[in-house]
Amino acid sequence: MPEPGSIYRSIKLAAQLFGRPLESLAPAELHRVTRAADRQQEIETLILETPEAASVKLTAASVDARLMEIRGRYGDDDEYHAELERVGLDASSLRQAVTRDLMVEAVLEKVAAGSAAVSDTDVEIFWYMNRQRFRLGETRVLRHLLVTINDGLAGNERQAARARIDAIHARLRKEPQRFAEQALKHSECPTAIHGGLLGRVPRGRLYPQLDAVAFSLAEGMLSEVIESELGYHLVRCEAIQRERLLSLAEARQTIREHLEGQQQALCQKAWIRALRRQGAERSPDANRR
């Protein structure tokens, strides 16, 4: 029977590589996960034998927090324990696997702390060399009002719904500043409680019929009635933020975090490569050669 760490490792890799449960993988996918799990186990064993690992002290609270996060994925205790049993784990073996996992993470964090520092010059060079990566698409502050079509609900039959939205539209064409009030009174969208406010919306976020209209409106402009599978809609554009490039000041922190992550990953990979070389040199096969 596979040991708990192997089961837990394979479940995590199935989610990371394919976004699916282990048991749902095709044979080729399962083979890939198995090979990756074997390599990861080898590396983890080397990591946990290092002086860095010996100096790591995990708290029970950190293990409990990770276990609580896992438990939170399930509706109740019965579902949680049934799933553990199904994959060949119990509370004790899961705790063992999670503790090992956290130990490895803690060691790698300790190693990453020794990575080269990222300077302001590094950040500025990256920004100048990659400015197009910091392009923000156009966004619009929009308000929305919906009257649904439902032939089984009195007052929402197609003809009645159209008459209602037309009456609202006529009022708003005369007094567009009343949109929030009208949405609060008449809209059947959850945003009604906020006066129909959708907030700052990027292109492509709304239903295609709404998106096309919303991004053709001038600032302050009210749409004509729009029909979708949900019903009849009105949209008002309150403000437009045109597409633009982030300034260095705006992008600085994001770039710094990105470069620091790269440096830390390089540091960890170099350290693991050194561990594997040392392990190979100590192996009996290496000595016989």
Question: In this structure, what CATH number is given to the domain that contains residue 53?
Answer: 1.10.4030
pLDDT at 89 over 60: yes
Q: Indicate whether 84 and 32 sit together in one domain.
A: yes
Residue 241, strand partner residues: 139
> What would the pLDDT profile of 247-279 be if each residue is shown by its tens digit?
999 999 999 999 999 999 999 999 999 998 887
> What would the pLDDT profile of 157-185 be if each residue is shown by its tens digit?
999 999 999 999 999 999 999 999 999 99
Domains identified in the chain, total number? 2
> What would the pLDDT profile of 106-146 be if each residue is shown by its tens digit?
999 999 999 999 999 999 999 999 988 898 889 999 999 99
Q: Which pLDDT score, from 0 to 100, does residue 289 have?
A: 45
Sorted by sequence, the CB contacts under 8 Å of residue 199 that are 6+ apart come out as: 141, 142
The Cβ of residue 199 has, within 10 Å, a number of other Cβ atoms equal to 12
> What would the pLDDT profile of 22-81 be if each residue is shown by its tens digit?
888 899 998 999 999 899 999 999 999 999 999 999 999 999 999 999 989 888 899 888
Q: Which pLDDT score, from 0 to 100, does residue 1 have?
A: 47
Q: Indicate whether 57 and 13 sit together in one domain.
A: yes
Whether 162 is covered by a domain: the verdict is yes
pLDDT at 186 over 70: yes
Q: Indicate whether 146 and 191 sit together in one domain.
A: yes
Q: Which pLDDT score, from 0 to 100, does residue 185 have?
A: 95
Rounded Cα distance between 99 and 199, Å, is 43
Q: Containing domain of residue 197, as a range?
A: 138-242
Quick one: pLDDT band at residue 231, thresholds 50, 70, 90?
very high
Whether 273 is covered by a domain: the verdict is no
Whether 75 is covered by a domain: the verdict is yes
pLDDT at 152 over 80: yes
Residue 233, strand partner residues: 146, 226
Question: In this structure, what CATH number is given to the domain that contains residue 218?
Answer: 3.10.50.40
Tell me which of 285 and 203 has the higher pLDDT: 203
